[in-house]
């Protein structure tokens, strides 16, 4: 599968993960994204991360526990697989913004 199609598929699945009305199949969409990330090569990861990161942040801010959980799991898989890439290419996501969202989540949970 070529990269633009793969990015489009993951992007579409990410939209479905953060859609609060899709709770019956959210875990399936999330699993599909995480499975794809595991198989993804680093050169294809850059565009995927640029595409999916804003959606995952939106899901983390959405307030629905199930959505936040899936978004955190996907982000965790991205960091596990592509942590070095994210370190090298710091423009792929806004670290400060992510830390603020995560800090806010921790305060809400306490």
pLDDT digits (tens, 9 = 90+) for 36-82: 999 888 888 899 999 999 999 999 998 688 999 999 999 999 999 99
60: containing domain: 3-109
Higher-scoring residue by pLDDT: 13, 105: 13
Number of structural domains in the chain: 1
The pair phi, psi for residue 39, each rounded to 5°, is: -90, -10
In the chain, pLDDT over 90 holds for what percent of residues?
A: 47
Q: What number of H helices and E strands is found in the chain? A: 5, 0
- The phi, psi pair for 63, rounded to 5°, reads 90, -15
pTM to 2 decimals? 0.86
Residue 41, classed as helix, strand or coil, is coil
Q: Closest Cα to residue 10, out of 77, 100, 94?
A: 77
pLDDT at 14 over 60: yes
pLDDT at 18 over 90: yes
**Residue closest to 52 by CA, chosen among 30, 27, 69:** 30
């Amino acid at each position: 599968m070529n990269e633009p199609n793969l990015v489009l598929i993951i992007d579409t699945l990410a939209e479905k993960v953060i859609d609060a009305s899709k709770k019956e199949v959210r875990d399936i969409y999330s699993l599909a994204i995480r499975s794809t990330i595991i198989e993804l090569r680093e050169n294809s990861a850059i565009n995927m991360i640029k595409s999916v990161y804003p959606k995952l942040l939106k899901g983390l801010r959405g307030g629905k526990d199930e959505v936040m959980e899936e978004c955190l799991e996907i982000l965790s898989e991205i960091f596990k697989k592509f942590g070095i890439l994210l370190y090298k290419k710091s423009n792929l996501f806004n670290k400060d913004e992510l830390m603020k969202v995560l800090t806010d989540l921790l305060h809400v949970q306490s």
